[in-house]
Amino acid sequence: MLYLSLVFVFILSYSFYFYGKKRALSLKFKKNENLSSLPDYYGYYVVLLVFFPAIIIWFFLLIFKSNFQEMFVMSPVLFPDVATWSSGKFGLIMNKISNLSMIVNLSEIDLTVGDKSILKMASESEIIAAKNLANFDKIYGWSNLTLFIILPVLLGFLATKSISGKLNAQPIVEKIISYVIKGSSYIAIFITFGIFFSLVFEAINFFRYVNFMDFFFNTAWNPNRAFVINASEGFDQEALKEAFGFVPLLTGTLLIASVAMLVAVPLGLLTAIYLAEYASSKVRDIAKPIIEILAGIPTVVYGFFAALSLAPFIKDVGEGVGLPVSAESALAAGLAMGVMIIPFVSSLSDDVIKAVPQSLREGSYAIGATKSETIKKVILPAALAGIMGSFLLAISRAIGETMIVVMAASLRANLTFNPLEPATTITTQIVTSLIGDVEFDNPKTLVAFALGLTLFVMTLILNIAAITIVKKYREKYE
């Protein structure tokens, strides 16, 4: 029904374009009024006045559907003391009602007769509420549909009625569109604010449970200790102190990212040098897109590959030479991640190397340097800043990467710098803490936001540094 009403809004706006235009034309030709704008603009004028209010209201109804659902189901008529309930109790009852509403033959239960088996589980008002909930979608859909037939038609006729020769539609239409365009470009800023505030807000909630210093400087990570001891005592403060120590996650993240960089930096940089300086254009045209395929492969594929083939392979090789290698070693995850990052390093460095002016190369050849000497002593130093920028972007990619480490790295925190041992990362722990029950009043869930905020800040600093370096570098040779 919601989609149907959206379709209606589109159809009605489209037809009102012709209606508005027709009205303007009839003013001109039948009543001989002079129009201030082209007739098309009267059509647009009506469309904008129909479309935007309707679409905004449609969006609000969509977004707040669940709120309406709660208002509809939890009416004070059924539950007189609903205003005094805590949010936890409210959620519990709401859950119970929505489960009840799934009962297939709910509508056949006759409360006047009294089906005792069901009444044992739920109160009478809960069953009525469940029946209401079962009907809610229908009622909501139909009322939505009616609203979205009446509203655009009403707006459309009002707008059409206001058309006269004196009304200059064109500036009005252009003004509205310019606001829409401006608004669209601010959405990017809203998203940043949205990210920042949703992270900060929940992270602050987390730091209500856990001391700031404990979080950043403790070396033990056992979030499972942070369960409620019992309802009245709340959380065991001593256990909370010990539960969330960020240090092993940081070392694990850095360990896996370093392994990845050890793979990606030499391979990526050498590939870039070869493609930019040595390869014939034929080789370049074939090899470059193939390597860029590596960047387009979803990370879940790398994760699967790392967990299925790479990790057992490394384990076998390690045991073959007598080294104890964990099945979830940081090495496997890091290697897969390194392969994923190669194209980031290679294509960015490639651009940077190609941007070095030809005159530098020629000057170097002129004094008798070989190609490799020119590359090592002239081109790379000249391109150093840009290459560093590409490394920084690659590091930021590596610490933010999620699926590879979720699938191939360990879940258990381990304070180590040995790549053969298991290690866990920030992103892995964000995922594990949010899988299963998500409760916004539990530090075990909230810690994900504190970790997310840390990750966001870390990558933000790296990105800004990289972008500034690359920009400065570009300006140097432009």
Partner 1 sequence: MSSLEKRLAAEKRFKFYGMFAMTLSLFFVLILMYKIFSTGSGAFVRTTINADVYFDPNFIEVSSNSSKKEIMKASYVDLADQVINQNHPGLDEENFIKVREMYTRKFDFQLRDYIANNPNVIGKTVNLDISASSDLDQIVKGNYPRNVPEAQRKINDYQLSILDSLDSKGKMSKTFNFWFFTNGDSRDPETAGILGALMGSFYALLICFSFAFPIGLLASVYLEEFVKPGKITDIIEVNINNLAAVPSIVYGLLGLGMLIGVFGMPYQVPLVGGLVLGFMTLPTIIIASRASLRGVPPSIREGALAVGATKMQTVFHHVIPLSLPGTLTGTIIGMAQALGETAPLLMIGMVAFVMEIPGGAFDPATGLPSQIYLWSESAERGFLEKTSAGIMLLLSFLIIMNTVAVLVRRNLEVKW
Ranges within 233-292 binding partner 1 (CB under 8 A): 266-271, 273-275, 277-279, 287, 290-291
> With respect to partner 1, which residue has the nearer C-beta, 37 or 329?
37
Site string for partner 1, 359-388 (x = CB under 8 A): -----------xxxx-xx------------
Q: Which of 99, 178, 219, 237 binds partner 1 (CB under 8 A)?
A: 178
Q: What is the CA radius of gyration of the chain?
A: 32
Q: How far apart are CA 6 and CA 56, in angstroms?
A: 11
Residue 248 parent element (H or E):
helix 247-273
Binding range to partner 1, per CB under 8 A, among 116-124, 142-150, 180-188, 409-417: 180-188
For partner 1, the binding residue among 117, 185, 230, 359 (CB under 8 A) is 185
Element containing residue 161 per DSSP (H, E) = helix 124-161
For partner 1, the binding residues in 316-355 under the rule CB under 8 A are 339, 342-343, 346
**For residues 385 and 395, what is the distance between their CA atoms, to the nearest angstrom?**
15
* Contact between 109 and partner 1 per CB under 8 A: no
Nearer to partner 1, 181 or 367 (CB): 181
407 binds partner 1 (CB under 8 A): yes
Distance between CA atoms of residues 426 and 431, nearest Å: 9
Task: Tell me the C-alpha distance between 120 and 118, whole Å.
Answer: 5
Q: Assess contact for 438 and 445: CB atoms under 8 A.
A: yes
Near partner 1 by CB under 8 A, which window of 15-23, 221-229, 294-302, 413-421? 294-302
List the one residue from 78, 456, 465, 474 that touches partner 1 (CB under 8 A).
456
* 376: DSSP letter: I
Binding mask 212-231 for partner 1 (x = CB under 8 A): --------------------
- Segments of 160-283 assigned E as strands: 228-230, 234-235
Asked if residue 99 binds partner 1 (CB under 8 A), the reply is no
User: What's the rounded Cα separation, in Å, for the pair 69 and 140?
Assistant: 9
- What does the per-residue mask of binding to partner 1 show for 19-48, with x meaning CB under 8 A? ------------------------------
The nearest distance, CB 402 to partner 1, in angstroms, is 4
Which residue in the set 73, 261, 337, 403 belongs to the binding site for partner 1 (CB under 8 A)? 403
Of residues 424-453, those binding partner 1 (CB under 8 A): 427, 430-431, 434-435, 438, 440, 448-449, 452
Burial of 273-307, coded b for 16+ CB within 10 Å and e otherwise, reads bbbbbebeeeeeeeebeebeeeeeeebeebbbbbb
In the complex, the smallest distance separating the C-beta of residue 283 from partner 1, rounded to whole angstroms, is: 8
Which residue is it, tokens 């647009």? 44
Closest CB 173 distance from partner 1, rounded Å: 8
- For residue 12, give both structure tokens: 């009605």
The smaller minimum CB distance to partner 1, of residues 402 and 416, is found at 402
Q: Which residues pair with 234 in a beta bridge?
A: 230
Q: Give, in degrees to the nearest 5, the angle at Cα 41 between 39 and 47.
A: 120
Q: Which amino acid is at 461?
A: I
Q: Which segment (73-81, 195-203, 209-217, 218-226) binds partner 1 by CB under 8 A? A: 195-203
